[in-house]
Chains A and B, each alone.
Chain A
Amino acid sequence: MSNVTLGALFVALGAASALAGVGVVVLGLLGRRRGWWRDSAMLVGLMMAAAGGAFLVMERALITRDFTVSFVAQHGSSRTPAVFNVATLWSALEGSILLWTLVLCGYVVAVVVKFRERRDDPMMAWVMLTLFVVCGFFFLLMVGPARPFSSFDPLPFANGQPFDGPGPNPLLQNHILMAFHPPILYLGYVGFTVPFAFAVGALATGRVGEGWLLATRRWTVMAWGLLTLGVILGAWWSYETLGWGGYWGWDPVENVALLPWITGTAFVHSVMVQERRGMLRVWNLSLVIATFSLTILGTFITRSGALESVHAFVESAIGPWFLTFFGLVVVVSLGLIAWRGDELRAPGRIDSPLSREGAFLMNNVVFAAFAFVVLLGTIFPLIVEAFDGRTLTVGSPYFERMTMPIGFVLLFLMAIAPVLPWRKASAGLLSERLIWPAWLGVGAILLSVLVGARGWAPLMAFGLGGFAGGAALRQLVLATRRLRWRGLTGRTNGGMIVHLGVVLIAVALAASNSYVRQETFEMTPGETAELSGHTFTFLGTEVVEYSNRVERKAAVRIDGGQVYEPAIAVYDFAGRLIGIPSVRSTLTDDVALSIAEMSDDGQTVFLRVTIQPLIVWLWIGGFVMAAGTLLAIAGGSRRSPISPVSAPVTAAQESGKALA
């Protein structure tokens, strides 16, 4: 059987299983089908097999260069190196939907395995229904507008050469990070489907107590961690491949990847208030729903060409599909909240703003503002265009100016919140617990000023960073003193490690943004240029041919030491010129070299030099955050004494009334 037929069969099987799953669960909910769980578990297995099968067929087609599959003919090529050949799958729309579906099915299988004990629970029926609907949507996309398996007739070229594809976008096949960034990002994105399904289940059954939160806490944290890692890897990828020293451009696609991260981060924090105090229920449900909706909105924006961006896939017909699905998600969830909202009355009160829960509440307000700013800035050009037809760009100056104060407040909260006890704190307690973190902050400012840092904004960031880092370290030191190495695990301590990662990133962001130097030098061989205390000697050029490209490299010696070779690559098929930068990273600063222009004889280059301090710490901070997330998931099971089945709403309402 050909790859096209086999793949299309798998896709059809997946779509049929998902739709059958919807039917089975609905019958189960109506009480017409007792064995709905067993049936849906089987259908989930089929879905997984279908998604996995389709994925493998596509990979086989890509690896064996089967150009009868039109996706391979359009995006693959015989010249693409092996690793990027595998990664070609997610370099274009149809394949990325396929990967998305596979990841989604994987999560659904995990839900079925993990919650098999609760098969009689009607809430699980709603969870499964939601998951089947989402799966069904993605499978239908592959049946309809984003069909990965359609056939193609690879006629030989006019010059008699056998057919060959163009290969993926050159930018997507020149760095190994491209093999990791999208799958990890998808693992994060898609992971939020599970808490969303539980939120819908909780709302639909009216069991809006704490049960669904406990059930999905680790799923959420894991999805959040993967999303974090995916976003950081994406920034790293742009930094390494785009060659202008940029890692974050506040581009629409980057923004929509950040949005679910922001609401997800808010949720990871505020969920603790609900667990401890039973409060903020509507808010938490809204955050979970917002996070999931934003991933769908983000996919719409990335893949429909609604907003212009370097990362956007070409325009395609799936826009209306995604928009409809987004509308459905929003309408259903808002409807559910409106219906159940009044049963979500919180049984508790926050006694004092100066308490752990007060700080979490503040944190959530700030994160909500953060999300609002990013969302508004991203869609604002559309609003203006709709009103008066003007085109307008909202770019980095806006986002930087608006998010900087938000960042400062968040750092400040990161310093204060971890030392606050629940319920209420006194000034004396705070002054006792915060004095060492405060001195660490002062030390950070002092050190920065001594090494020559100037300007209020970066100094503020360094000082608050030291303060917040001190608070996180304090918690870790106390915990490890008591529990040895186990003091690094569990949600609180793992969370503090994540905070340390955030502090590293905040400091690196402030430093690299504030003290960036860039200059372009016109050079001939033997010439030396200087910038920011570094010297660059242009030695000469050479031309190197690879299977898929020709590179014209310029050899540049940095600081009289090692030679770096930025290049201009011409990908023969696409004929596209792309720059391949070369970066020297050290713990203190990064020197990025790229060629802006090179004369045909290779005797003159325009060498663009970008020097930014502390860049490496962005990536280190990212990995610290990922490690912290793992440690947070790993330990800390000491605190789940309550049965994961939540109490019916009425009990919570009663206690609410008793208080009022």
Chain B
Amino acid sequence: MTAESPRRAVWIVAPVAVVMLLLLLLFATRDTGTSGSAVIGKGRLAPAIIGPTIAGGEFDLDDQRGRFVVVNFFSTTCVPCIREHPELVSFHEAYAPTGFAEVVSVAFDDSAANVVAFFESNGGDWPVLASDTGSIAVAYGVPLVPESVIVADNGEVIDKLIGGVTRSQIETVIAAYIEESQA
């Protein structure tokens, strides 16, 4: 607080100025978009999905080894989920019969009755889990729907697609994975 050297003020001000400048730079260069949720577990083993389906069966993701699996998180009231549904139906019709791929839908905060009605009116006959799905959503890091996780034939997570998906989008992801694993 006392001045010793004649230009001490400058020595105090200079570092403050530098810090301030860096701060300004930090704010100025930051893009103000909201950060997207990160892709988790890419290349890691997909978390377990075990539970009763609305058809009355039992589903276990581990039984699907050898097939590519699209784990689709959805809710019956969300508009993009309704919009992406025909795409999933088309994907399923093309690849499920050959045993190449499977789709499994996991309801996000929805009643089983609503989900059953949804599939009756929109089509699609693949395993659907509707009860007690909160922990699956947490394990897959799903904060909002729709989100789809593509799981490889060896059980690894390939990618997580945020928002509504299209058939070709899923195909591209799987094709790229196959190409990469063959290379």
Contact = CB atoms under 8 A, between A and B. Distances in A.
B17 A334 contact: yes
B27 A323 contact: yes
A320 B6 CA distance: 37
Given A306-B30, A319-B32, A386-B26, A330 B8 contact: no
A168 B8 CA distance: 52
Interface string A290-328: 000000000010001110100000010001100100110
Given A279-B1, A379-B26, A334 B13 contact: yes
Given A327-B24, A382-B26, A338 B32 contact: no
Interface string B19-52: 0100110111110101100100000000000000
Interface string B139-156: 000000000000000000
A386 B20 contact: no
Contacts of A382: 26-27, 30
B138 interface: no
A178 B89 CA distance: 49
A342 B8 contact: yes
Main secondary structure of the interface of B (DSSP, over half): helix
Contacts of A308: 34
A344 B27 contact: no
Contacts of A320: 28
A337 B7 CA distance: 11
Interface string A369-392: 000000000010011011000010
B28 to A, nearest CB: 6
A499 interface: no
Interface string A144-183: 0000000000000000000000000000000000000000
A137 interface: no
A477 to B, nearest CB: 34
B23 A338 contact: no
B16 interface: yes
A341 interface: yes
A111 interface: no
A391 B34 CA distance: 11
Main secondary structure of the interface of A (DSSP, over half): helix
Given A346-B1, A379-B23, A305 B8 contact: no
Contacts of A239: none
A304 B32 contact: yes
Contacts of A344: 3, 9
B27 A338 contact: no
A342 B1 contact: no
Interface string A341-358: 110111001000000000
Contacts of A337: 9, 13
A394 interface: no
A394 to B, nearest CB: 15
A330 B20 contact: yes
B10 A338 contact: yes
B20 A280 contact: no
Nearest to A600: B111
A383 B30 CA distance: 10
A342 B3 contact: yes
Contact of A345 (B2, B10, B24): B2
B16 A334 contact: yes
Given A282-B9, A334-B17, A345-B3, A306 B24 contact: no
Contacts, number: 70
A283 interface: yes
A300 B26 CA distance: 13
Contacts of B10: 338, 341
B12 interface: yes
B32 to A, nearest CB: 5
Contacts of A319: 27, 32
A308 B37 CA distance: 14
Contacts of A383: 26
A338 B26 contact: no
B27 A300 contact: yes
A252 to B, nearest CB: 12
A180 B28 CA distance: 33
Nearest to B28: A323
A167 B7 CA distance: 57
Contacts of A341: 3, 8-10, 12-13
Contacts of B13: 334, 337-338, 341
Interface in B74-110: none
B32 A315 contact: yes
B72 to A, nearest CB: 24
Given A282-B9, A342-B7, A391-B38, A305 B28 contact: no
A344 B10 CA distance: 12
Nearest to A305: B32
Contacts of B8: 341-342
A327 B20 CA distance: 8
Contacts of B16: 334
Nearest to A273: B1
B35 A391 contact: yes
A313 to B, nearest CB: 12
B7 A326 contact: no
Nearest to A386: B26
Nearest to B24: A327
Contacts of B1: 279-280, 282-283, 346
A340 B8 CA distance: 11
A341 B7 CA distance: 8
A346 B24 contact: no
B111 to A, nearest CB: 9
A276 to B, nearest CB: 14
* Residue from B9, B12, B16 having most chain A Cβ neighbours under 10 A: B9
Contacts of B20: 327, 330, 334
A311 to B, nearest CB: 16
A342 B38 contact: no
A404 B58 CA distance: 52
A349 B23 CA distance: 34
Interface string A250-262: 0000000000000
9 contacts: A304-B32, A330-B17, A330-B24, A337-B9, A338-B9, A341-B9, A342-B6, A342-B8, A382-B26
Interface of A: 279-280, 282-283, 300, 304-306, 308, 315, 319-320, 323, 326-327, 330-331, 334, 337-342, 344-346, 349, 379, 382-383, 385-386, 391
Closest 7 CB pairs of A and B: A341-B9, A338-B13, A345-B3, A305-B32, A330-B20, A391-B35, A338-B10
Given A323-B27, A340-B9, A344-B9, 4 more contacts: A339-B9, A341-B9, A342-B7, A345-B3
